[in-house]
Amino acid sequence: MGNPFGFMNYVRREPPAISTTERIKNYHEFHTPLSKEEQKRQGERCMHCGVPFCQYGLPINGMISGCPLNNLIPEWNNLVSLGAWKQAYERLKMTNPFPEFTSRVCPALCEKACTCGANGEAVTVRANEYSIIENAFLMGYEHPQPPQVRTGKQVAVVGSGPSGLAAAALLNRRGHSVTVFERSDRIGGLLMYGIPNMKLEKHIIDRRVEQMKAEGVIFKTGTNIGVDVSAQDLTDRFDSVILACGASQPRDINVTGRNTEGIFFAVDFLTSTTKSLRDNGLTEGTFISAKAKNVIVIGGGDTGNDCVATCVRHGAKSILQLEMMPKLPDVRADNNPWPEWPRVCKTDYGQEEAAAVYGEDPRVYQTTVKEFVADENGKLKAAVLVKLKPERDEATGRMMMKQVEDSAYTVDAELVLIAAGFLGSESYVTKAFGVETDARGNVAAEGCRTGIPNVYVAGDMHLGQSLVVRAIREGVDCAREVDEDLMGYTNL
């Protein structure tokens, strides 16, 4: 332990963000990394707890507490504090195959469970992780490591999101020959087209993919398994098949006027912007544009926030973000103690930017859409909104959000983005492979093994909509099961 008093001697310092008025002029990441000396001090703030909840990663009261990857956080915090960057990298890579992703997009469950945070401010775990992996790339510690011996086993991975990439990377390094199939035009899945550049610039994904190619992983884009290639063909040609297609079926809303022109799913909107950015630098007419439009974003989660931030950059006239539920408290309630995940109100980067541009927070709570209104050409011109209030349902005893009588009002809207979550995997893939699904559309499995021989499942396709860090953990676990079944044992 480098400094047992670090958590008392130093305050938490996060990588500074570029001002809202500057960063909305582009689509780049907008945090400036701390100096190595400052990052060492932040590492010293770690208390090296006897029971480090930061690396626990299991549910407490129904919510994940700590890192699902069980990252050895106190160990590499200590190594950072000592300036032992290579050793810190080696400890980090023992549990996390893609720290460059999680250090950018993870909501830092580790920090929410940090003991420092029980009575003060948590350690900057995510920023420490970022510095470790980016220094590793810079210094050449992170480099292609192709296996010296091949096993002769062939593995197919369907889907190139975080779980598919994690499984592919580990199984390839084990010596199996891995082919990743992606229906889109680029590798990355959710990482590529579901997360905006402001949170994860796409050259970071390209860097990892190029390294995996150098290690021997084969990538095939524009290949839709179950359409372009049959499931039978895949199971015949490969010893094992991993389904990692995500929970890509968006949840819709059923209200009058839903088919009006100008209403899109959030994932399609975000995809169009990222694809246009990469294809042609966001040329007008090549993406779903919010420019000069009154925008309504339906959904208060991370995807909704990403839509808000993207609309700000497009030059939207106004933005409303609708949240059905009441506003969460600003600080932990008594019934939500540490180290549970804090159920508190979070103002994210997109909401900060919208407030700076339009003068107020875009979020409207306990509100939903009752009707969409079209003009004479069938294009969206307005939306009828209605207020909601919590009431206990007599039949189930559960609290439900019910409409408040005579609370409807109309707002101008030319673009609506539905960010209401996802309903599970797409049925054409599950039907093609004959795997069972549960009531939520997730693939049923024992561990990661489906009921079909040599067919496995990982990530959101198994868990339902979740976090990148949990998807990576699923890929790691799935790789271990596949390796064990192929070889009779596993050293992953």
| Pairwise CA distance, residues 80 & 82, whole Å | 5
Distance of CA 413 to CAs 68, 199, 292, 301, Å?
40, 27, 11, 21
- Amino acid (1-letter code) at residue 173: R
pLDDT in tens, 67-117: 999 999 999 999 999 999 999 999 999 999 999 999 999 999 999 999 999
pLDDT of residue 34: 96
Q: Whats the size of the chain, residue-wise?
A: 492
CB contact at 8 A, 89 and 142: yes
Report pTM.
Answer: 0.96
CA distance 441 to 420: 16
pLDDT of residue 294: 98
Q: What is the pLDDT of residue 248?
A: 87
Residue 241 identity: V
Nearest residue to 116 via CA among 45, 44, 42? 45
Output the six-digit token pair for 292. 């000069």
User: Phi and psi of 403, rounded to 5°?
Assistant: -65, 140
Q: Identify the segments of the chain with pLDDT beneath 70.
A: 1
DSSP, res 342: P
Partners of 390 in the β-ladder: 401
**Residue keyed to tokens 């049959």:** 230
Query: For residue 427, what is the DSSP state?
Result: H
CA atoms of 452 and 445, how far apart (whole Å) = 9
Question: CA nearest 24: which of 305, 392, 356, 461?
Answer: 356
Spatial neighbors of 163 by CB under 8 A, at least 6 apart, are: 244, 458, 459, 460, 461, 471, 472, 474, 475, 478
pLDDT tens column, 220-256? 999 999 999 999 999 999 999 999 999 988 999 999 9
Locate the DSSP E strands across 317-379: 318-323, 363-365, 367-374
Let me know if 324 is exposed, middle or buried by CB neighbors in 10 A (0-12, 13-18, 19+). Answer: middle
Q: Give alpha helix (H) positions in 16-161.
A: 20-23, 36-44, 73-81, 85-93, 99-105, 109-112, 125-139
From CA 357, how far away is CA 125, in angstroms rounded? 31
**pLDDT at residue number 225:** 97
Q: Give the CB-side neighbour count of residue 28, counting CA atoms within 13 A.
A: 10
Tokens representing residue 355 in the block: 């407030």
Query: What residue type is 234 in one-letter code?
Result: L
Q: How far apart are CA 164 and CA 41, in angstroms?
A: 36
DSSP state of 54: G
Nearest to 67 by CA among 78, 55, 75: 55
Which residues 6+ apart lie within 8 Å of 245 measured at CB? 158, 159, 425, 426, 429, 461
Q: Which domains does the chain have, with CATH numbers?
A: 6-139 (1.10.1060.10), 154-248+423-487 (3.50.50.60), 263-418 (3.50.50.60)
Q: Is residue 156 a contact partner of residue 234, using CB atoms and an 8 Å limit?
A: yes
Residue 241: strand pairing partners: 156, 455
In whole angstroms, give the CA distance from residue 350 to residue 304. 9
Structure confidence at residue 1 (pLDDT): 65
